[in-house]
Amino acid sequence: MRNPECGTPFPSRNPTRAASDTPATDLSATTTRRIAVADPGDPLLLAGGGRLDHVEVAYETYGRLNARRDNAVFIAHALTGDAHAAGRSAEDGRTGWWDNLIGPGKAVDTDRHFVVCPNLLGGCKGTTGPSSPEPGAGRAWGPRFPLLHIADLAAVHRRLLDRLGVPRLHAAIGGSLGGMQVLQWVLDEPDRIDRALLVAASMRLTPENIALSSVARHAILADPDFHGGRYAEHGTTPAHGLKTARMLAHVTYVSDRSLTAKFGRDRRTSGTDQRLGPDFEVEHYLQHQGDRFLERFDALSYLYLTRAMDYFDPFGPGTAAPPTATRFRLLSFDSDWRFSTAHSLRLRDALAARGIAVRHTEIASPHGHDSFLLAPPGYHDEVRAFLDS
């Protein structure tokens, strides 16, 4: 079957062959595709009152859509993720950021499921965002890009599935910001997702969460090369601010336990004081993480997406959750202090109070918030069991 909008074929399963007879999915050379999901005749109307007349989405798919079109699993990525969730990229050889979870025979089994993962709206990896061309302006959107809400990200996800001919999801899975997107989607369109799996996620950021993101944003905004967000027009990039923001954020994604186990108080040099520059191995590690981040992310995307997370409050005053048959599974990690288990428990209670089926499990892991990207004991088993239930 061929997608009429982009002329690119998307997978469809041979209806005469059972899933168990399907050869193992080949993820040795995955490809990111792009498709338009909004145009002037069908614009994307944003939750904050803005409007986008042109929206493109970068996405990847793994596995095959079956004849009943009911085996699709949607993956919503976290703040700095992208569409390349699994396999090895044909473009640059990168391994997908959730490759340990998604693939043939893995917890999200691509021999059984048709997996879809897009780069989210506002991102900088192929989906329309602040660094994309502003229609008719001859320049990037920059700070003129409209403010986003999580509901806008979910709206683009739904449009993508419409284009791919997927009427309903067997499951939607999201970690961190990805979990927020899945929750919003169920509330906006309660009859399209059978199972919702939210990992290390939150329904509402705490003041501490907002404060940490505020410091990171300030580092970017105060960088002399930021130029009010018009750094592309000035041929610069706020590298110092963006690197600092990433270094701060990265500290919140790990745990004291994991940093102590990996670095302790080891120093790059010993026996002499290095005065004010990096000396301890953990300092050099953060420098490395910040430098790598500059190679793959845009400062304005970071500002826009962290702000959308701040404002997310789907059960706040004046809101109402529609009835839904979607079953929720919540997973948290005992060493995660950025989105601690308390976040999942608040969400569990909010869903249960509205009569929505929900179950929560806390998993032991030394890796902090980053546990959702790794494979601590029992984690992937929980994912597999929920998809198979």
Structure tokens at 225: 């090369």
92 tagged catalytic: no
> Among 336, 340, 344, 367, which one carries the catalytic annotation?
336
Which residues on neighbouring strands pair with residue 199, listed in sequence order?
A: 175, 331
Compute the distance between CA of residue 290 and CA of residue 306 in angstroms, rounded to an integer.
17
User: Does the annotation flag 381 for ligand binding?
Assistant: no
> Among 113, 149, 343, 369, which one carries the catalytic annotation?
369
369 tagged catalytic: yes
Using alpha carbons, select from 99, 106, 125 the residue that is nearest to residue 30. 99
User: Does the annotation flag 246 for ligand binding?
Assistant: yes
β-strand pairing of 44-45 with 72-76: unpaired
Using alpha carbons, select from 299, 208, 283, 203 the residue that is nearest to residue 250. 283
CB count within 10 Å of CB 42 equals 12
> Among 176, 335, 340, 365, which one carries the catalytic annotation?
176
Which residues on neighbouring strands pair with residue 59, listed in sequence order?
A: 33, 118
Compute the distance between CA of residue 259 and CA of residue 360 in angstroms, rounded to an integer.
27
Sign of the Cα pseudo-torsion (283, 287, 288, 292, in order): positive
389 tagged catalytic: no
β-strand pairing of 55-62 with 33-38: antiparallel
Which residues on neighbouring strands pair with residue 140, listed in sequence order?
A: 133
Compute the distance between CA of residue 253 and CA of residue 107 in angstroms, rounded to an integer.
23
The crossing angle, in degrees rounded to 10, of helices 150-164 and 177-188 is: 70
Q: Output the known binding site.
A: 246, 370
Q: What are the catalytic residues?
A: 176, 336, 369
Q: Output the known binding site for substrate.
A: 246, 370
